[in-house]
Structure 1
Amino acid sequence: MKQSILDKYSVPVPRYTSYPPANFFSPSYTAEQHRRAVIESNSREPSHISVYIHLPFCFQMCYYCGCNAFLLTDKSTAAKYVEAVKKEMQLIFPMLSKNRKVSQIHYGGGTPTTYSVTVLKEINDLVFSEFDCIKDPEIAIECHPGYMSEEYWATLPEIGFNRISIGVQDFNREVLKASHRKPSRLEIGEIIAGLHKQKVSVNLDFIYGLPLQTEASFAETIQKAISLQPERIVTFSYAHVPWVNPLQQKLEKTGLPTVTEKEKLFNSASGLLHEAGYRSIGLDHFVLPEDELYKAFREKTLHRNFQGYCTRRTTGQVYAFGVTGISQLAASYSQNTKDIPTYISQIEKKELAVLKGYALNPEEQITRAVISSLMCNNYVSWQEIAASFQTTPEKVKAILHYDEKKIHELEEDGLIDRDEEEIRVRPEATPFVRNVAASLDKLMLHTDKQFSKPM
């Protein structure tokens, strides 16, 4: 892609893990509104239940992290916290219909594996005791391999986990050292082989755009990843948001790759993965051809929530537990408090720990569907969106910020192909799909919100 185009579109835009983005959530959204939304969700689609558990503690803080994470300094607080998470689940679960089934459980952080497998089993068992699951639900956990023993890895499948995301980030130890990230305690190949024997699917997660990464060094990392044959390889673009995590300023001292250098890192990795038979999914995922995500992508039915990409089979309304957890219901979002003592205190008083949220009006629900289609499937059909909301393509475009001049500009710059029926993001422009989505978003017309750059 031309340098002028890279520079033009390397501007802050939302990541669109939700619509509206989380920084539009309002503190005026109350716990009572969330309670009513949870009850209402029983009669809305999707009918399946997706459970998200946020375990925020880390043994060591990585400088690049943009997540809601806290250094583990007090084990007693961590113990009180996880008890509060279980109590919060016991507040919400009675509001949900027992006819609904769990399709997805996801543990994020922080580092969920700061807790023992005994604790994780207790949480899983709490979910299983309340609801039936669909056939082959996705039960996933994000793992930091720097601290996990062979026994820990072997026990995860025994307590229900069938998808493991391993946060490698880079195989180059100098890159990890500059990012304050501990390398894996065991050989990643040995870990994957053990998990595969137990019929567990594996994601290997990497970040491009870190200090000291070069096109050659990152290619070496990706080649090693390919040789290990995980089901999915994820290449996240490092999001430099020091106003969210001041620790990221430490990376500036070592030096960050330029936009051009980041594009080379991504293109090199993408080329190697495609040559090895992996297929592109969404912004940053590469999967084997038999993966159900690829089938969904080919059928233009790929979905996405705060846990990441998923299929319609495993899609559910998301009920989140723990600090900063975001519940993602049919017509609303609700985010928990970010303060651990406040969270524990409110839950112990049997109060929902809602900090802020957002109720979507009918027009915003249509906008969300358009942006979700672009972000997941690199495509939007005006007729399909219109039909799903019982309206017309003309009314859908009127709800959006549909500017014919801007759409033509995106086409001329090589980001999209389009006709009267649809917009298609070109494969080489996938890293800039966020820009395409933002161009249709009325909320982006006059906003002072801060976002990361796509590259």
Structure 2
Amino acid sequence: MKQNIVNKYSVPVPRYTSYPPANFFSPAYTTEQHRHAVVESNNREPSHISIYIHLPFCFQMCYYCGCNAFLLTDKTTASKYVEAVKKEMQMIFPMLSKDRKVSQIHYGGGTPTSYSFTVLKEINDLIFNEFDYIENPEIAIECHPGYMTEEYWATLPEIGFNRISIGVQDFNREVLKASRRKPSRLEIGEIIVRLHRQKVSVNLDFIYGLPLQTEASFAETIREAIDLKPERIVTFSYAHVPWVNPLQKKLEEVGLPTVTEKEKLFHTASGLLQEAGYRPIGLDHFVLPEDELYTAVQEKTLHRNFQGYCTRRTTGQVYAFGVTGISQLAASYSQNTKDIPTYISQIEKEELPVLKGYALNPEEQITREVISSLMCNNYVSWQEIATSFRTTPEKVKATLNYDEKNLTELEEDGLIDRDEESIRVRPEATPFVRNVAASLDKLMLHTDKQFSKPM
């Protein structure tokens, strides 16, 4: 894309992992509202259950991290925390209909693998013993390869995991050192071979926009990843949010790539991946052609929740456990407290640890579907949205900040194509799909919320 267009749209906009974004959640949302929403979710679609477990501890804090993570300094607290997570599950599970099936389990952090695989097995078994599953559910975990032994990798499939995301971030040792990221303990290629033997699908996760990355060095990293042939390769855009994590200021001391340099990193990686046969998915994923995510993209049915991209087959309403976990139900969100001692204390008192949340009104539920369609499929059909909500395309547009002038500008700048029936984000404009979504979002008209830049 032309440099003036890249500069124009490299402005703070929501990441839209949820709609509304999490910084719109309100502390006025109560525990009773969440309890009611959980019970009501049994009667809403999607009917499947998706479970997220947040294990926030890390052996070392990476400078780029924007997650709610804590340095593992006290094993007693870590032990009490995981017992609280299991107890929170035991508080919520009785509210869920046993006619419903689990379609996803996802462990995030922090570093979930900072716990022993024995602990992970205990949590998995708690879920396995409570619910039935869809055929071939997705049971996934994010792994930090810097600390994991051969035994640990071999045991993960044995205790139920069938998808593993390996947080490589970059193969360049100097980039990792500048970001305070420990490189893999074992050769990544050896790990993938062993996991494939155990019928486990592999994501390799990378970050572009880190200090010392160059177009040439990141291209070398992506070529190395391609040679390893994981099922999915993910290229996350580094989100510089030092107001969330002050440690990110350390990266400023080394120096971050410019907007222009960062765009080149992405487009070079994207070109190499597509030349190698990987297919682009959503904002930052690349998958092999036989992946069901690619089938969903072709059918324009790709979906996204807090677990990441998924299909309609595997998606579910999300029930989150642990600090900062966000439950994503049909008509509401609820986020747990961010403080570990407070979380443990509330659970020990058998209180749901709700910090804040958001109940979506009918108009916002329509807006959520529009933005989700754009973010997942680079496309929105006014008639399809209208049909799913039993309304008209005109009324769908009326719920949005549908502005002909704004849309014409996006079209003239080369971000979208459109007609009376739909909007389509151009392939080369995928990094700026967030800007297209934000242009339709009424909540963005008058807001003082802070967001990261797409580039």
Q: Could you state the TM-score of these two structures normalised by the residue count of structure 1?
A: 1.00
1:173-196 CA-to-partner distances (Å, cap 9, x unmatched) read: 000000000000000000000000
Gaps of 5+ in 1: none
How far apart are the structure 2 equivalents of 1:385 and 1:311? 18
Offset at residue 327 of structure 1 (A): 0.1
Instruction: Give the secondary structure class of the aligned counterpart of 1:130.
Output: coil
Q: Which residue of 1 aligns with 2:452?
A: 452
Residues 279-298 of structure 1: matches in 2 within 5 Å?
A: 279-298=279-298
How far apart are the structure 2 equivalents of 1:73 and 1:443? 40
Provide the alpha-carbon RMSD of the alignment: 0.3
How far apart are the structure 1 equivalents of 2:22 and 2:334? 10
How far apart are the structure 2 equivalents of 1:267 and 1:399? 34
Instruction: Give the secondary structure class of the aligned counterpart of 1:206.
Output: strand
Offset at residue 246 of structure 1 (A): 0.2
Question: Residue type of the partner of 1:79?
Answer: S
Q: Which residue of 2 aligns with 1:14?
A: 14
Question: Residue type of the partner of 1:308?
Answer: G
Question: Residue type of the partner of 1:142?
Answer: E
Residues 48-127 of structure 1: matches in 2 within 5 Å?
A: 48-127=48-127
Do structure 1's residue 243 and structure 2's residue 246 form an aligned pair?
A: no
Percent identity over paired residues:
89
Question: Residue type of the partner of 1:171?
Answer: F
Offset at residue 52 of structure 1 (A): 0.2
1:248-298 CA-to-partner distances (Å, cap 9, x unmatched) read: 000000000000000100010000000000000000000000000000011
Offset at residue 363 of structure 1 (A): 0.2
How far apart are the structure 1 equivalents of 2:28 and 2:235? 36
Residues 260-271 of structure 1: matches in 2 within 5 Å?
A: 260-271=260-271
Q: Which residue of 2 aligns with 1:443?
A: 443
Residues 413-432 of structure 1: matches in 2 within 5 Å?
A: 413-432=413-432
Gaps of 5+ in 2: none
How far apart are the structure 2 equivalents of 1:427 and 1:126? 43
Q: Which residue of 1 aligns with 2:194?
A: 194
Do structure 1's residue 41 and structure 2's residue 66 form an aligned pair?
A: no
How far apart are the structure 2 equivalents of 1:314 and 1:333? 19
How far apart are the structure 2 equivalents of 1:177 and 1:207? 14
How far apart are the structure 2 equivalents of 1:312 and 1:3? 37
How far apart are the structure 2 equivalents of 1:316 and 1:240? 30
1:321-346 CA-to-partner distances (Å, cap 9, x unmatched) read: 00000000000000000000000000
Q: Which residue of 1 aligns with 2:299?
A: 299
Offset at residue 137 of structure 1 (A): 0.2
Offset at residue 200 of structure 1 (A): 0.1
Q: Which residue of 1 aligns with 2:393?
A: 393
Q: Which residue of 2 aligns with 1:155?
A: 155
Q: Which residue of 2 aligns with 1:2?
A: 2
Offset at residue 387 of structure 1 (A): 0.5
Q: Could you state the TM-score of these two structures normalised by the residue count of structure 2?
A: 1.00
Instruction: Give the secondary structure class of the aligned counterpart of 2:123.
Output: helix
Question: Residue type of the partner of 2:79?
Answer: A
Instruction: Give the secondary structure class of the aligned counterpart of 2:191.
Output: helix
How far apart are the structure 2 equivalents of 1:58 and 1:113? 9
How far apart are the structure 2 equivalents of 1:85 and 1:310? 25
Instruction: Give the secondary structure class of the aligned counterpart of 2:314.
Output: coil
Do structure 1's residue 337 and structure 2's residue 333 form an aligned pair?
A: no
Instruction: Give the secondary structure class of the aligned counterpart of 1:38.
Output: helix
How far apart are the structure 2 equivalents of 1:100 and 1:349? 28
Instruction: Give the secondary structure class of the aligned counterpart of 2:319.
Output: strand
Q: Which residue of 2 aligns with 1:225?
A: 225
1:289-318 CA-to-partner distances (Å, cap 9, x unmatched) read: 000000001100000001100000000000
How far apart are the structure 2 equivalents of 1:172 and 1:2? 29
Runs of at least 4 residues of structure 1 off by over 6 A? none
Question: Residue type of the partner of 1:395?
Answer: K
Q: Which residue of 2 aligns with 1:170?
A: 170
1:26-48 CA-to-partner distances (Å, cap 9, x unmatched) read: 00001110000000000000000
Offset at residue 62 of structure 1 (A): 0.2
Question: Residue type of the partner of 2:431?
Answer: P
Offset at residue 234 of structure 1 (A): 0.1
How far apart are the structure 2 equivalents of 1:125 and 1:99? 19
How far apart are the structure 2 equivalents of 1:444 and 1:116? 43
Offset at residue 142 of structure 1 (A): 0.1
How far apart are the structure 2 equivalents of 1:314 and 1:347? 29
Offset at residue 364 of structure 1 (A): 0.2
